[in-house]
Amino acid sequence: MGRSATSRLVISVLPPPGQRPVASFTYSCARTTCTFDGRTSTDDQGIASYTWNLGKQPGGSVTGAVVTFDYKRSGSYPVTLTVRDAAGNAHSTTKNITVTK
């Protein structure tokens, strides 16, 4: 009686390496103080850095996944989040926010 050999081949499909991250954020404001949360951003290898341009000069550029900023005055401001992954790929998104006293 002969023995038969059985082979098993498993194929996994992985996303191509080096995909660009996707910047995304939510925010909430209590009067003129707003909190911005970029943790909804995604990347195949994870987000390495978060840079915010809060539409206010001077002092409107900060880093971190979650940041809080006091605009001090009512108004409309363009807020931009730029995320980078470990490979240096970047992506930005902008939302216009309205702050009221």
Q: What is the pLDDT tens value at each position of the chain, 101 positions in all?
A: 556 666 676 664 545 566 899 999 999 999 999 999 999 999 998 999 999 999 987 767 899 999 999 999 999 999 999 999 999 999 999 999 999 98
Residue 61 lies in a domain: yes
* pTM over the 0.85 mark: no
Residue 13 lies in a domain: no
Domain count, the chain: 1
Residue 10 lies in a domain: no
User: What CA–CA distance (Å, rounded) separates 29 from 77?
Assistant: 12
Note down the domain range covering 60. 26-99
Sheet holding 33-37, edge to edge: 26-30, 33-37, 66-70
Residue 43 lies in a domain: yes
User: What CA–CA distance (Å, rounded) separates 72 from 33?
Assistant: 8
Cα 78 to Cα 46, 56, 58, 60, 96: the distances in Å are 26, 9, 14, 11, 4
